[in-house]
Structure 1
């Protein structure tokens, strides 16, 4: 006897396996895990997007290294910070983008900006900026809560 499965049956397999491993009945598992199976609406976070245009690859690499320290600190001590990610432009290796999502603008201004890691990182970036080695641009916005987050 040959057993065949459709792609949709196989895509649900990890959830069934997880339910079995957790000892949860399949009905209650799917009721409790509906958020795993459908998109979630975003909150109304305050978002900051920063672009850093460097003059040298050495400064880019050092900024990434220094930024990782801040990111580790934020992950540990700033639960109001929902998303904190750095990326390198795919068209310009000297350009970095940072996306930051906060519970509120007030948390960014009053807590994040006074954190020890930020207070160590920002002067380093400011020194590069003052020396003409990096140009910093950015914008922020208040999310409306429309759309989805996967």
Structure 2
């Protein structure tokens, strides 16, 4: 199976890279440290489209103050008092064969890029230079998130 995965990965490499570049090009920055809102929908819409095209059942879980309060009570986690307009979690379920399950968790939000004059390139126009990706959110955590999604796609593509 490993050899087959390597062959499929090599054959689909450009397609997979293009998915990452598309997600990186989406402005998903938070506004006012997330308190005033955020642009995550730009990335969430793309991820939803990709996962649905892969056959996933995708549900949008809209964030509400009630949901955040429940998270604080249950897990001691959450950020109350934020603007949640157009901000939601995606839950994607890929049906398997009844064996063990695997869960991935990630986020598309990024902090604003700051002083653009300090960037070598536009932070939302991803570039590959010397085999490295340059864009806002590539390290935290759009590349990891897309790797999770495309790991499933690789298994699907390999049959």
Higher relative contact order (CA 8 A, sep 6+): 1
Q: Greater strand percent: which structure? A: 1
Tell me the TM-score normalized by structure 1: 0.26
